[in-house]
Amino acid sequence: MSLLFGTAGTPVSSRGTDSISGIRRIHELGLGCMELEFVRGVKMGEKTARAVHDVAKRLDIRLSVHAPYYINLNAEGETLSASRERILKSARIGHICGAKSVVIHAGFIQKYPREAVYERIKAAITDIKETLKNEGIDITLRIETMGRGWQFGSLDEALAITEVDGILPCIDFSHLHAITGMNNSREEFASILGKVEEKLGRSGLDDMHIHVSGIEYSEKGEKNHLIFAESDFKYKELAQAFVDFGIGGMVICESPNLEEDALALKREYDRTRLA
């Protein structure tokens, strides 16, 4: 699988703000993928989802979905039930769109030991995946690595939970940098990719889903997304690590300027690969 670059939602320069306009603009820019951002809620209906599918297929643009932010699988009662339904709805609509992955912010640590949180989230995500399987929906759920210590989603957690069938990680390199201020060199990026390979094998490297942006952070972790030029994030060294490991999949840019940084990263990747 080739490595495709794209944006988190409709590019800034799109003629319209809707997903179909975004897919068309991605194609015009020479990018290869786009993430449908359902982060404020799944507001897309089935009719629109079918139209999205048709346009993306015709233009050969690969899609993924980001589920709503308001999810906590380390919860009980109504909060857990609502979180479960948000993931299911994201997967159902995403499946109609032709998306192959749903990215999830899985939950919060709260008052519990991390080991207990892991087991609770694993149980919830296993149940959700079983429901989707029973509905005939074949879509990967991807647990994102997070940028704050009180969120579930360390690199080790995102890799470990792949023990559940149909679960893979979404590696957010900027979040991993923001946690400690480290993970910002070719060697450190290589270490992260090496852990992916150790856990998931070559197939894991061939089908990656990656988030990246400039990032502002403090001792508490992530604060805001920035453009590369205003951040210390070494995206050129990240591109070198991509080439070193020969990875495939999707790289989604979340910088405020979206397509500008996506294109900058793609150019650096292409230059390094062809050097």
* Residue 66, beta-bridge partner list: 37, 103
Instruction: Name the residue among 150, 149, 152, 243 with its Cα closest to residue 189.
Output: 243
Which whole-number Å values give the CA distances from 99 to 24, 37, 90, 222, in the listed order?
A: 16, 12, 10, 28
- 3-state SS, residue 8: strand
How many structural domains comprise the chain? Answer: 1
Domain membership of residue 216 as a residue range: 3-274
Phi and psi (nearest 5°) for 191? -65, -40
Q: Is the pTM of this model over 0.85?
A: yes
| Residue 216, φ and ψ in degrees, nearest 5 | -105, 140
Assess contact for 243 and 273: CB atoms under 8 A. Answer: yes
Instruction: Identify the pLDDT of residue 275.
Output: 87
Please identify every stretch of the chain with a pLDDT value under 70, giving residue numbers as ranges: none
Query: So what's the pLDDT on residue 250?
Result: 98
Burial (0-12, 13-18, 19+ Cβ within 10 Å), 166: middle
Which pLDDT does position 218 carry in this prediction? 96
Query: What's the alpha-carbon Rg for the chain, to the nearest Å?
Result: 18
Q: Residue 65's domain is classified under what CATH number?
A: 3.20.20.150
Kindly state the greatest CA–CA separation across the chain.
Answer: 55
- How much is the pLDDT for 251? 98
